[in-house]
Structure 1
Amino acid sequence: MAGPRASVPDPVIRVRGLEAGFGERLVLKGLDIDLFRGEILGLVGASGSGKSVLARTILGLVPKRAGTIEVLGRDLDALSPEQLRQLEQHMGVLFQFGALFSSLTVKENIQLPMREHMHLPEHLLDEVAMLKLDMVGLSPDAAAKLPSELSGGMIKRAALARALALDPDILFLDEPTSGLDPIGAGEFDELIATLRDTLGLSVFMVTHDLDSLAGICNRIAAIHDGRIVASGTFQQMLDCEHPWVRTYFRGKRARAAAGRDISAPSN
């Protein structure tokens, strides 16, 4: 008699056989990847390997040529434009350089997704925007500032507040600690881990930051030559014998980062 079945992780994103590219150049070549509920997944790869292309293809910003993408159990190819629009509200995005609108204040940037997708009175738009500011650790006086008046770290946090405006289930982060000093990067990592725990987020993080990979990622996936060539914990990546993965994770910086604990998802 068979024993009880082990619980199967719940994928919020499931990608199979994905192909995407530009012109005659194929960037993603039959790629498979999962993002499981409640985890922070770190995606690594060499420059130009397709990390951002993968994230943008899942988001629908780059058209795919083949394969399937399922988000929250729904095949994107089977959805109508209106259903896709509704599903997009479950995904928040923090682009590498923030991508804040320079002519809008921080508050107005945060309110932009809400104005597009929700019908709220002005006072509620203001209340929610201030709540999101507080959530990412920005003071109330940041609301009236323009992006040009913010430091690099404040821009990242303001852009994160906008990404959280619609209370998404899935958060995409593209090089979130790029350009930050080590202290600022560490604080931002801690913020992401805290938001994951308190909001129940699933996080798809494109990064090259070894401290982030070791410190907050539950799982890491390495992309090389258009495919995922390794996936696992930081320690499993250290033990991987794939040539690119070995070179990336066995350098001096990786060995220093390996001494840090990796947080587990809260269930």
Structure 2
Amino acid sequence: MCVNFLNEEPSFIFYPFTREDFDSGIEATLALRDINPLITGSIFGWNVHHAPLARNAKTGSLVARVTLTTRIRCSLEAANVTLSSSDVNSWPLLITPTGWPREEETSVSTHVLQQLDLNSHVLVTNIPGKVHFRYLHLVRRRARRDETNKREIVYVAVIGDTEANVQAREARPDVRWVRESGYCIRFTEVNKTTIDVIYDRSSQCESEKHAQELFVDWAEVACRWLQRITSSKLVQSG
């Protein structure tokens, strides 16, 4: 199908994902997030696990990664409602261009392209500019039990693609498709009023400066979310 944007950004052809393509993209992302770097500091109630910049062995891209962890006085159900009731345009951007001003966030367009089930979607985001920054992303919510049988809810958003979509794209100098970025938010129930939170972010980046800009954005997103979900509740780092 042909995807058009409201503000006349360049259109493109989209081919729906198979269930296999969708699940493989999500599971590959979850596998990478089982490895957490050491704690390197703290910020606004979050422990910071900051990994050094590294090259993707397959693509050669420079990759930035950070994991933020905390414990909050909030039920698993309340945290789930807070995230699942959010509008798609309020979700964190997976990546932004280097030097991109945050005040231009209202010009970003995000659209749902495909719903595989109630908790699995394919979306597109376009960040306008002289060169449009654009990506397809896979989003999934899943309730499950962790390895210690504790209840948890896992949200995953990751840039995904298929060969059919890559081949269908017209090469344009004013559109750049981003291929590597994502996040995982994991709520694990400690008891009826407390949860542990892991917020893991990674993204391709152009330089160390770009990585620093992304880290600031990620920390701001985490802090805004924490303020929203906890209100006046006590936050415990740990």
Same fold (TM over 0.5): no
How would you bin the TM-score normalised by the shorter chain? Answer: under 0.3
TM-score, normalized by length of structure 2?
A: 0.25
**Bigger proportion of residues as helix:** 1
**Bigger proportion of residues as strand:** 2
